[in-house]
Structure 1
Amino acid sequence: MEALFGIVGKDFVVTASDRTSARSIVIMKHGEDKSRELNKHTLMLYTGEAGDTVQFAEYIQRNIQLYGIRNGIPLSVHATANFTRRELAESLRSRNPYHVSVLIAGTDPKTGKPELYWLDYLGAMVKMNFAAHGYASYFCMSTMDRYWKEDLSVEEAISLLKKCIAELKTRFIAQLPEFMVKVVDKNGVREIQL
């Protein structure tokens, strides 16, 4: 019952994740942050099995930071997405694969160009202008397809995000009461309130 969203704008990416941690029909926790800042300009949102998600996210975050320390330059969003995809693909061939689906959002600090990558637990990766994981994808991809356009402003992207959340509240049987919204741009990652 999880939901992750990502929307690419003119020079930023807006992301949102529900803040509920649940298993089956039981809500275990409210206020969960399902994202990790990988470096100053890259953010990863994750969904999947509770133990896998946290362990995998911390593993990716630490390795991306280690690369930056060793080489004196942070990984680009594209390189981060490829590293993450490789780790998911390699875990499939192990005895304990990660059951984690990921959105990687970021901007190139030099050009300011935004990027959004959709990765699933099977190691598939696609660069997209808008993306969703979890039950949100069943209800909101058509809304994002209808209203997304190139050069969205922050206000327009947030308005589109609100439409998606309203669609979930109208059509989805389970209520996801709270969402964490973050914007990634050339200045870094920041959280905003809806």
Structure 2
Amino acid sequence: METSFAITGKGYVLVAADTTAARSIVKMKTDEDKIKILSPHLLMAYSGEPGDTIQFSEYVERNIRLYQIRNTLTLGPSAAASWIRRSLADSIRSRRPYAVNLLVGGYDTSSHTPELYWIDYLGTLTKIPFGAHGYGSYFALSLLDRYHDPEASLEEGIATLKRCLDEVAKRLVVSPGKYLVKVVDKDGVREIEI
């Protein structure tokens, strides 16, 4: 029942993910952070099998940090997304593939543009203006298709995101109660309240 959304706007990427950790019909906790900060201008929302998501997100976080230490520069959003895609594609050809779906968002400091990438558990990668994973995507993608504006201010992006969250709460039988929202822009990554 996991749900994650991401929206690009004028100079930012807005990412939201539910905070529920559940297994079958049991809710384990309601304060799980499913958005990993990979670098000062890069973040990743993940969903999928509980063990796989934690292991893979930590693996990605540490390898991107290792690259930064070795090369004294950070990976841009497109380079990081390509490396993550390759890691997932390699894992699917192994004996223990990761069942993880990702939304990778970042602010490219060299071109001063926000970038968002959709990656699924098969290693499929595409650059998108908005995206969603999980059961909430069935309801939110049509809203995002209608209301997304690439030139929207942060306040307008938050309003569009609220529409998605309200629709999921209204339509989904077992909707998540709480969401964590983070934004990345020229100033870096920060958490915001909805």
For 2:33, what is the secondary structure of its paired residue? coil
1:85 aligns with 2:93: no
Match of 1:149 in 2: 149
Q: CA RMSD in A?
A: 0.6
Give CA-to-partner distance per residue, 1:37-77, whole Å, 9 cap, x none: 11100001100000100000000000001001101110010
Give the distance between the partners of 1:47 and 1:96, measured in 2 at CA: 17
- Point out the more displaced range, 168-177 or 11-20: 168-177
Match of 2:28 in 1: 28
Gapped regions of structure 1 (runs ≥ 5) = none
- Point out the more displaced range, 184-193 or 107-116: 107-116
- Point out the more displaced range, 108-117 or 34-43: 108-117
- Residues 93-104 of structure 1 correspond to what in structure 2 (within 5 A)? 93-104=93-104
% same residue = 52
Gapped regions of structure 2 (runs ≥ 5) = none
State the TM-score, normalizing by the size of structure 1.
Answer: 0.99
Give CA-to-partner distance per residue, 1:23-47, whole Å, 9 cap, x none: 1111111100001111100001100
Match of 2:173 in 1: 173
- Residues 56-135 of structure 1 correspond to what in structure 2 (within 5 A)? 56-135=56-135
Give the distance between the partners of 2:149 and 2:185, measured in 1 at CA: 18
Give the distance between the partners of 1:26 and 1:131, measured in 2 at CA: 27
Partner letter of residue 143 of structure 2? T
For 2:89, what is the secondary structure of its paired residue? helix
For 1:143, what is the secondary structure of its paired residue? helix
Give the distance between the partners of 2:169 and 2:137, measured in 1 at CA: 14
Match of 1:4 in 2: 4
Give the distance between the partners of 1:37 and 1:150, measured in 2 at CA: 23
Aligned length: 194
Partner letter of residue 120 of structure 1? D
Give CA-to-partner distance per residue, 1:135-167, whole Å, 9 cap, x none: 111110000000011211000000000000010
Aligned-residue offset at 1:110: 2.8
Give the distance between the partners of 2:63 and 2:83, measured in 1 at CA: 9
For 1:32, what is the secondary structure of its paired residue? coil
Partner letter of residue 185 of structure 2? D
